[in-house]
Structure 1
């Protein structure tokens, strides 16, 4: 049997074709319909010259067209490159040109950025517009074949930026993705009667593996929200009798503190999973008390497919902990010499197992750097207690986590440096009560230049996704530097919000 990840759909469709696989508001999509649509997409891609191993971008929100395109690409033997729908043209161009993508499926609302990116990369653009795309897809007869793929063939390339700047594409194999989906099914107790709330972006590893792939593998129903709003989420939980909710801490916070949340019947909820950022213990306890369900916190990265560790439903759960490694995965905490540290001591988390990526696309040096000694080095600092539970104590040195989304300062600094009035800039995290962290920028202007914070902010906003641009901009005469001239970010202090040119947008 082929190792192709698309077989999780064909197998479930074979077992119960009439069961609902996807819901979006009042629209239901059976397994048979999802499987047939994916088979037609595969036929379309083959007709356009897409061959096994070719890369195809998917820039779609949480709508049924995403899994249709995703499993269609895999079925044809292609490699999926998921892309954030908020990317601007220059960013989309990189995400397509770096993996030499042949084609891009993009949502019609983001046509301008998608077109700019596709043209820059020489990729064919297929705009996905409801009422029109169906005609394009249904011109092609369903292709019954599922391309033969090996366990270690690449299925998905997930782009992740390091603090070194340029985004790197983590190559995740069919085995990586399938086994992580299997682990998620076991962790959250997913079965054919499960209803999972699809609130996490499907282009993100958490939503893709734990939400979409795990639900399809289990033969359950994924009910989608294109854009998360707490009232809408609670409405869907009540309407569809959702049993599993997966989200980032900001989602939990928004639902817990929504006025009138008591009016929704959420008694169907059994298990909730949190990841993407640390879940405050107070929030965990408050959510459980209000909703009467168990919240499990875990940890992972794009490079680990993503799940590496979790608090397990059948074991002791420790609030504030990311739990213990999932089955088949090893984790330890090491010092700078890669020697394991004693319990309670802080070191870097390293991981090995079936979940670790094949490597970074076209970046052998970067791959070698993070895979020293056969262990993936996460850059995240943690400690382990005497029971083997891991506790994150610090994030990657410069990473900003804004509402569960990773923002990498170097990428924003590159744009700031392109502004003609900017001499130097450093992007740092500014604490935020709801989002956890907000993006801040300390800027040194060139002599004789005179621009204000709004102009700088607007310039960056034009060139990066909406969640990345700095809401706080302030000007300084000099940035603190070490003896080699390196900017010392730890010495940069953001002024208070009122004087920082803050914007809530």
Structure 2
């Protein structure tokens, strides 16, 4: 029997005095983390939470998050991590759909969560930095040893951001998360107990939760937390905590790179940087590595694949611009609309099979059957695979622009525009066009003090890519809309209406 929390109990037994967490210069050891989580697990049981019950977490990156997370798992419960910025209506849906009995909530979000809990009757427990406020959630004997769970019991219910319709709860099992965390620690990042992992990705997001918190725990490393990502805070943490491994989405790397205080940053401790969540612009990768003397390894995954599916492994040739090769225990291929594998070098949808693929969508058998029609999970991402098994993402299936019968992949156009020295961020989107069906448009955020005009950028792209690909319309925005992990949200980019 495997309970994911065994990783915590094993590491706490092996390295009791090692810091598990670092925040604001303070440390929490593995022994302390285990003790607080065991106490919380006992209180959960005393308050009626049985194995298999769902418990929600609405917390920023503070020690309370790992305390509650491990506590729920020790008690045999299912963790439902939620974005703290959700509104009452959205919270109501998550609580009702998951049947969460209790939610642990940061003080700032209690009013919204309380409103959101009216229909479901979910109990709201307010938390401070280290867990529930003293005296608010007590009782029961500490549960020191993890409650028995089977490999394929659900450990985490992760709601995927629904681009269409309501979010769906991806059921990740104890085995899914354990194996992915282990491979993230050992194969991908080669984490040791001497490492300091930068926890700037939100822990409610699958990347931060599994590749950050769970992988650091498996390895007995320190996780340096930043409550909410901010480039100045990240720079300070890298220096003060001597961070060796950073994990982030491309916008985080760009924000650090372009921040004035990064010029004098002592980044000598940085060894490996893992990037995922969206495609890393080559220009950002090159500049970051040159400036800080470290290596960025790009990978790929989704909530439904726990999350890592492929990576540029440190032990293999790195191919910048690719998402690497399938990780151990996972198979990937590119398929056509009928599910047939396409030839090497041709564009197809990525399909994934392996021990990282979720059990299914919570209470949604039809959606599960549609996503995994033949044992292979369909990702909705278009890519090519080269002869050595390296995948290159071309785009999201639904983001592809069909201009006069020609396929335009926004990512390719974005890569071209990122090479312009004045461009900080760009998102390329399709715009309705009476003649061609769709036309290419680009929203651009410029660097401070830059003088480039939309016409300059159109001209720049026109000289570098095929005539059917370059944007006919460019508009400048102060910043681009981003999701909870800092990923640019193309679907929320709209051309300003002409006044």
TM-score, length-scaled by structure 2: 0.81
Paired with 1:466 and 1:221, the residues of 2 have a C-alpha distance of 21
Paired with 2:15 and 2:129, the residues of 1 have a C-alpha distance of 27
RMSD over aligned CA atoms reads 2.8
Aligned pair count reads 428
Which residue does the alignment assign to 2:148?
148
1:469: how far off?
A: 13
Q: Secondary structure at the match of 2:260?
A: coil
Which residue does the alignment assign to 2:291?
290
132-141 or 302-311: which moved more?
Answer: 132-141
Which residue does the alignment assign to 1:413?
none
Q: Secondary structure at the match of 1:252?
A: helix
| Within-5 A mapping of 1:168-187 | 168-186=168-186, 187=188
Which residue does the alignment assign to 1:44?
43
Q: Secondary structure at the match of 1:374?
A: coil
1:229: how far off?
A: 1.1
Paired with 1:224 and 1:197, the residues of 2 have a C-alpha distance of 7
Structure 1, gaps ≥5 residues long: 402-408, 410-427, 436-460, 474-492
| Equivalent residues of 1:88, 1:465 under 8 A apart | no
Paired with 2:498 and 2:362, the residues of 1 have a C-alpha distance of 39
Alignment pair present for 1:431 and 2:443: yes
- Deviations 1:177-235 (CA, angstroms, capped at 9, x unpaired): 00000110121010111100100000000000000000011001001000111111111
Q: Secondary structure at the match of 2:374?
A: helix
1:124: how far off?
A: 0.8
Note closer, same or farther for the CA distance 1:466–1:235 as it changes in structure 2 (3 Å cut): closer
Which residue does the alignment assign to 1:327?
328
Which residue does the alignment assign to 1:29?
28
| Within-5 A mapping of 1:138-217 | 140-186=140-186, 187-217=188-218
Paired with 1:152 and 1:74, the residues of 2 have a C-alpha distance of 14
| Within-5 A mapping of 1:167-316 | 167-186=167-186, 187-316=188-317
Q: Secondary structure at the match of 1:134?
A: coil
1:139: how far off?
A: 5.1
Which residue does the alignment assign to 1:479?
none
Paired with 2:230 and 2:485, the residues of 1 have a C-alpha distance of 17
Paired with 1:308 and 1:470, the residues of 2 have a C-alpha distance of 22
TM-score, length-scaled by structure 1: 0.80
Which residue does the alignment assign to 2:362?
361
1:260: how far off?
A: 3.0
Paired with 1:87 and 1:382, the residues of 2 have a C-alpha distance of 32
Paired with 1:276 and 1:465, the residues of 2 have a C-alpha distance of 11
Which residue does the alignment assign to 1:416?
none
| Equivalent residues of 2:251, 2:486 under 8 A apart | no
Paired with 2:372 and 2:198, the residues of 1 have a C-alpha distance of 35
1:112: how far off?
A: 1.2
- Deviations 1:5-36 (CA, angstroms, capped at 9, x unpaired): 01110000000111100011122101111000
Note closer, same or farther for the CA distance 1:140–1:25 as it changes in structure 2 (3 Å cut): farther
1:261: how far off?
A: 1.2
Note closer, same or farther for the CA distance 1:138–1:179 as it changes in structure 2 (3 Å cut): same
Note closer, same or farther for the CA distance 1:193–1:163 as it changes in structure 2 (3 Å cut): same
Which residue does the alignment assign to 2:81?
82
